[in-house]
Amino acid sequence: MLFTSKDSLHHVFETVAAELRKGVTEDRHPFRLVSFASQSANGPDVRCVVLREVDEHLGLYIFTDSRSNKIGQLNKNEQVALLFYHPEKRTQIRIKGTVSLHHQDRPSKTFWATLDRPSQQGYHQIAAPGTTISKPEEAYEWDIHLADCHFMVIRVLPHEIWALQLDGHTHVRAKFVRQGETWTKTWMAP
């Protein structure tokens, strides 16, 4: 378990923040892969993404191809939801936040410089993500010029975080709401 009913709300919040950061630093941590939901014209759309960084404001960073469908969705509606689940500790973290998109600017160039060549190649397939192709091999055609033209960074700034600790019949749930630079912390019925 990550937390119990005996822990303070401050402790629960700090534990959640630390566990999110472990999702970046520990390759096999369950919070490394996160369900990322946005709004499409046809309703909610969810996919699994990799958590790349957590900053001092709990801003969560995700990398993507600028040509992906989610970018069009995020340009129309910057509100997203994320879902993390830790099966061993039986903890669910839900986040609602607002995105900012970074493409060929300081944050994207800084992250681009940290990627090794094979990782950079992943943003250079000729067929844009979601393009209809006639056979799978067509997806493995790469532009040999490894520039950051399709590399994009998504930053999610959380405004609400729910932490649910599953524990038989005595689940524990807390809610954290951002107000400026501070967080209001409350217990909730699970």
* 29: CATH: 2.30.110.10
Please indicate, yes or no, if residue 104 is contained in any of the structural domains: yes
- As a whole number of angstroms, the distance between CA 11 and CA 185 comes to 11
8 A C-beta contact, residue 54 and residue 25: no
* pLDDT tens sequence for the chain (190 residues): 999 999 999 999 999 999 999 999 999 999 999 999 999 999 999 999 999 999 999 999 999 999 999 999 999 999 999 999 999 999 999 999 999 999 999 999 999 999 998 888 888 888 888 889 888 888 888 777 778 899 999 999 999 999 999 998 899 999 999 999 999 999 999 9
Please indicate, yes or no, if residue 18 is contained in any of the structural domains: yes
Q: Which SS3 state, helix, strand or coil, does residue 84 take?
A: strand
- As a whole number of angstroms, the distance between CA 123 and CA 150 comes to 6
- As a whole number of angstroms, the distance between CA 60 and CA 33 comes to 12
Domain that holds residue 159: 9-125+143-188
Please indicate, yes or no, if residue 154 is contained in any of the structural domains: yes
> Is residue 62 left, alpha or beta, with left meaning phi > 0 and alpha meaning psi from -120 to 50?
beta
Please indicate, yes or no, if residue 164 is contained in any of the structural domains: yes
Cβ count within 10 A of residue 80: 23
Count of domains for the chain:
1
Please indicate, yes or no, if residue 169 is contained in any of the structural domains: yes
Please indicate, yes or no, if residue 171 is contained in any of the structural domains: yes
In this structure, the strands spanning 91-103 and 151-165 are antiparallel
